[in-house]
């Protein structure tokens, strides 16, 4: 916005610096301004600050070389806003089902550990016993009660492992890499990788890079699994063999047939960058819709499962009692 208003990069950073209170952001902006004041480029200043992603630095360097810095910054702003929205969507989608699952497990444990023994004593005094299913559940509850110490140790190890993942970055990255190699190219994860690739490709093309360099950059940014990397290699190979961009993206499985046709029409009309931007927008919407559908299916499934489990437990307890009441009547 400041560059569009006619300010230089140095003046823009100074305005942002003056707008910040004392803190890490102000220190970083001061570092940027000091580097720019010495006559260095914006990309060099960002790299010297040591806190900005390599992807951002590289894209800004390309924007400086091609004279499209303002457009590149605008595209980067949209990129990180999109990434933030997707991150929030995923966190919100996971949080509620996790809470629901925890509550379901807690209710079931209370029933089998606390409630069933009470009914067992009542039936014993009446000279009968509970349904066999209820008896087995009560025995399982008794085993859980006796194994509290062991369960606590297991939970302590799990909690310590989560702390290690949170604070030790190499371990977290290694686990994320292993997960991506196993599932990164499948289902919703594959669609998310394709969405990141398409948007990174759109951003690179909008910054003035040629097609080959744009695909190489997008592949490095959106990679994360062997399957996804293989798709990118196939795409580059098809381009080198003389295929068009739309054909290469479609055959490699990065774009659907419909999306490839849209890109083909855009390329013929000289508006390939506009077509890629539209494909990126649709891909982003498709990923969020897919996540919403998954969550919409998980929630009722957990509710139904918890209702069935609780209902079976209560029926196994109440049916013998109904038999006793019938006999008394």
Q: Are 48 and 57 in contact (CB under 8 A)?
A: no
Highest average pLDDT, of 36-45, 62-71, 198-207, comes from 36-45
- pLDDT tens sequence across 7-61: 888 889 888 888 877 678 888 888 998 998 888 889 899 988 888 887 788 778 8
Residue ranges of the domains in the chain? 9-52, 75-329
Kindly tell me the burial class for residue 50, based on how many C-beta atoms sit within 10 Å of its own C-beta (0-12, 13-18, 19 or more).
exposed
DSSP alpha helices (H): ranges in the chain?
9-19, 24-37, 42-49, 54-66, 69-110, 116-125, 132-146, 148-167, 169-183, 187-206, 211-222, 226-240, 245-251, 257-268, 272-328
What's the average model confidence in pLDDT over 173-190? Answer: 67
Q: What angle do CA 249, 239, 179 make, to 5 degrees?
A: 50
The model's pTM is 0.59
Whether 227 shows a pLDDT value over 70: the answer reads no
Task: Give the pLDDT of residue 282.
Answer: 83
């Amino acid at each position: 916005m400041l560059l569009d208003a006619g300010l230089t990069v140095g003046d823009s950073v100074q305005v942002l610096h003056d707008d910040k209170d004392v803190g890490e952001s102000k220190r970083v902006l001061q570092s940027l301004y000091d580097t720019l004041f010495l006559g260095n480029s914006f990309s060099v200043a960002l790299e010297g600050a040591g806190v900005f992603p390599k992807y951002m630095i590289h894209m800004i360097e390309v924007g400086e070389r091609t004279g499209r810095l303002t457009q590149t910054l605008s595209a980067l702003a949209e990129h990180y806003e999109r990434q933030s929205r997707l991150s929030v969507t995923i966190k919100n989608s996971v949080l509620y089902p996790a809470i629901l699952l925890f509550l379901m497990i807690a209710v079931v444990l209370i029933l089998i550990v606390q409630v069933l023994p009470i009914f067992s004593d009542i039936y014993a005094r009446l000279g009968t016993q509970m349904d066999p299913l209820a008896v087995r559940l009560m025995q399982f509850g008794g085993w859980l009660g006796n194994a509290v110490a062991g369960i606590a140790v297991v939970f302590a190890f799990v909690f310590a492992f989560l702390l290690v993942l949170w604070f030790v970055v190499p371990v977290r990255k290694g686990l994320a890499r292993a997960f991506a190699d196993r599932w990164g190219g499948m289902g919703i994860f594959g669609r998310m990788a394709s969405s990141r690739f398409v948007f990174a490709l759109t951003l690179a093309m909008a910054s003035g890079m040629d097609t080959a360099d744009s695909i190489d950059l997008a592949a490095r940014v959106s990679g994360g699994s062997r399957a996804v990397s293989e798709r990118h290699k196939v795409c580059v190979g098809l381009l080198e063999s003389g295929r068009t961009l739309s054909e290469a993206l479609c055959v490699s499985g990065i774009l659907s047939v419909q999306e490839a046709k849209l890109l083909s029409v855009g390329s013929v009309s000289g508006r390939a960058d506009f077509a890629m931007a539209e494909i990126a927008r649709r891909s982003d919407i498709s990923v969020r819709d897919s996540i919403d559908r998954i969550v919409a299916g998980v929630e009722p499934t957990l509710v139904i499962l918890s209702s069935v489990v609780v209902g079976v437990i209560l029926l196994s307890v109440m049916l013998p009692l109904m038999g006793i009441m019938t006999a008394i009547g």
